[in-house]
Amino acid sequence: MCDLILLLFDHHKLDVSDEFKHVISSLRGHDDKIRVVLNKADQVDTQQLMRVYGALMWSLGKVLNTPEVSCVYIGSFNDKPINEAETGPIGKELFEREQEDLLFDLKDIPKKACDCRINEFVKRARAANIHAYIISHLKKEMPAMIGKAKTQQRLIDNLADEFGKVQREHHLPPGDFPNVEQFKEV
């Protein structure tokens, strides 16, 4: 389990390969841990940087499938001084602040570790609670003697509707429910 996930992009290579898409999609459920770093941004002027940033956000929007944008740090994260000839003094100041923010985020990891553990525990407890409600509901729907196989298949085929019934009956948030297709496989 990790506390922070950094996705690194260079200003000249913003495309997301199929392999990288697969990696990013495997991070679903950990969106709060994802941070994006746009590196080598001091090699372009302000106008180009705005275009690069927009292109990066567009590419990520297609892959991340989240309503909110991940935190994006813009800068030149290496041991060389910032190229002020391209960025100007405003760009240099921006990159320095972005670097400070990223370092603060990294240094803050140990402080957030306890919160993360508690949040993870709460997430698992909610999932277990939802699972118990679903299993209890499905068990109630099953007949005692005759027609078990038919009823079981009907319940599996209409699992999304059954989730809706459980949600309404117990006033549960829909975001806490598992993926229907994955639940069917199990």
Structure-token pair, residue 137? 């509901």
Q: Is 38 exposed, middle or buried (0-12, 13-18, 19+ CB in 10 A)?
A: buried
pLDDT digits (tens, 9 = 90+) for 155-180: 888 889 999 999 999 999 888 888 88
Shared fold status for 5-107 and 126-185: no
pLDDT digits (tens, 9 = 90+) for 58-109: 888 878 777 676 788 998 887 877 777 777 777 778 888 998 999 998 998 8
CATH (residue range 126-185): 1.10.268.20
User: Where are the domains positioned within the chain?
Assistant: 5-107, 126-185
Q: Please tell me the pTM assigned to this model.
A: 0.62
Task: State the CATH class of domain 5-107.
Answer: alpha beta
